[in-house]
Structure 1
Amino acid sequence: MPKLMGGDPANHGDDIAGYVEAVGEGVTGFRPGDRVAAFHQMFTPHGSYAEYSVAAAKSAFHLPNATTFEEGATIPLASMTAALGVYQRLQLPLPWTPVTVPTPLVVNGAATAVGAFAIKFAALSNVHPIIAIAGNGIPFVDTLLDKSKGDIIIDYRQGAEHMNEELRKVAEKHVISYAYDTVSDEASLEMLSKVVYAENGKIMSVVPREDEVIGGITVLGSNVGHIHEPAKEGFKVGNAEFGAAIYNLVSLGLADGWFSGHPYEVAQGGLAGLEGALKSLEAGKVSAKKYVLRLAETPTVLKE
Structure 2
Amino acid sequence: MPMAYYMASIGLFGMLRLPMMWQRSQDEQKAMPLVIYGASGAVGSAAVQLAVNANFHPLVCVAGSGASAIQPLLNSSKGDVVLDYREGAEKLVENMKAALGEQELHYAFDCVSEHGSSANICRVLRKGGHISLVLPSGVKDVPPGFDVNTTMAGNLWAGFKNKSDTHGAMGLAGGKEFGYCYSRLLGHWFSEDKLRVHSPEIIEGGLLGIEKALKNLREGKNHGVKYVVRVRDTPGLE
State TM-score, norm by structure 1. 0.66
CA separation of 1:193/1:273 partners in 2, compared to 1, >3 Å: closer, same or farther? same
Written as runs of structure 1 = structure 2, the 5 A alignment for 1:1-40 is none
* Cα shift readout 1:178-204 (whole Å, capped 9, x = no counterpart): 1111121151111111100012x1111
Paired residue for 1:94?
20
Q: Could you tell me how far 1:108 is from its partner in structure 2? A: 1.0
The letter of the residue matching 1:253 is W
Determine which of 19, 22, 32 is the counterpart of 1:103. Answer: 32
Residue 134 of structure 1 pairs with residue 50 of structure 2 = no
Paired residue for 1:287?
223
The answer to whether the Cα contact below 8 Å between 2:119 and 2:143 also exists between their aligned partners in 1 is: no
CA separation of 1:215/1:283 partners in 2, compared to 1, >3 Å: closer, same or farther? same
Paired residue for 1:179?
108
The answer to whether the Cα contact below 8 Å between 1:231 and 1:240 also exists between their aligned partners in 2 is: no
Considering only CA atoms, is the larger Rg found in Structure 1 or Structure 2? Answer: 1
Paired residue for 2:189?
253
Q: Could you tell me how far 1:169 is from its partner in structure 2? A: 1.9
More helix per residue: 1 or 2? Answer: 2
The letter of the residue matching 2:132 is M
Written as runs of structure 1 = structure 2, the 5 A alignment for 1:51-62 is none
Q: What are the ranges of 5 or more consecutive residues in structure 2 without an aligned counterpart?
A: 161-170
CA separation of 1:270/1:77 partners in 2, compared to 1, >3 Å: closer, same or farther? farther
The answer to whether the Cα contact below 8 Å between 1:104 and 1:178 also exists between their aligned partners in 2 is: yes
Paired residue for 2:130?
202
Q: What are the ranges of 5 or more consecutive residues in structure 1 without an aligned counterpart?
A: 1-74
Q: Which runs of at least 4 in structure 1 moved beyond 6 Å after TM superposition?
A: 210-213
CA separation of 1:225/1:273 partners in 2, compared to 1, >3 Å: closer, same or farther? farther
2 CA distance for matches of 1:244 and 1:87? 13
Q: Could you tell me how far 1:286 is from its partner in structure 2? A: 1.1
Determine which of 79, 104, 107 is the counterpart of 2:5. Answer: 79
2 CA distance for matches of 1:226 and 1:182? 16
Residue 114 of structure 1 pairs with residue 43 of structure 2 = yes
Determine which of 135, 143, 147 is the counterpart of 2:76. Answer: 147
The answer to whether the Cα contact below 8 Å between 2:4 and 2:42 also exists between their aligned partners in 1 is: yes
* Cα shift readout 1:96-153 (whole Å, capped 9, x = no counterpart): 4355141111111111111111011111111110001112112211111011111112
2 CA distance for matches of 1:265 and 1:79? 20
* Cα shift readout 1:223-260 (whole Å, capped 9, x = no counterpart): 11344x3679xx99732332232222222222222221
CA separation of 1:225/1:290 partners in 2, compared to 1, >3 Å: closer, same or farther? farther
Written as runs of structure 1 = structure 2, the 5 A alignment for 1:40-51 is none
State TM-score, norm by structure 2. 0.83
CA separation of 1:105/1:256 partners in 2, compared to 1, >3 Å: closer, same or farther? same
The letter of the residue matching 2:91 is H
1 CA distance for matches of 2:184 and 2:208? 33
In the alignment of these two chains, the number of paired residues is: 224
RMSD of Structure 2 on Structure 1 (CA): 2.6
Residue 266 of structure 1 pairs with residue 195 of structure 2 = no
CA separation of 1:134/1:101 partners in 2, compared to 1, >3 Å: closer, same or farther? same
2 CA distance for matches of 1:210 and 1:239? 24
SS at match of 1:246: helix
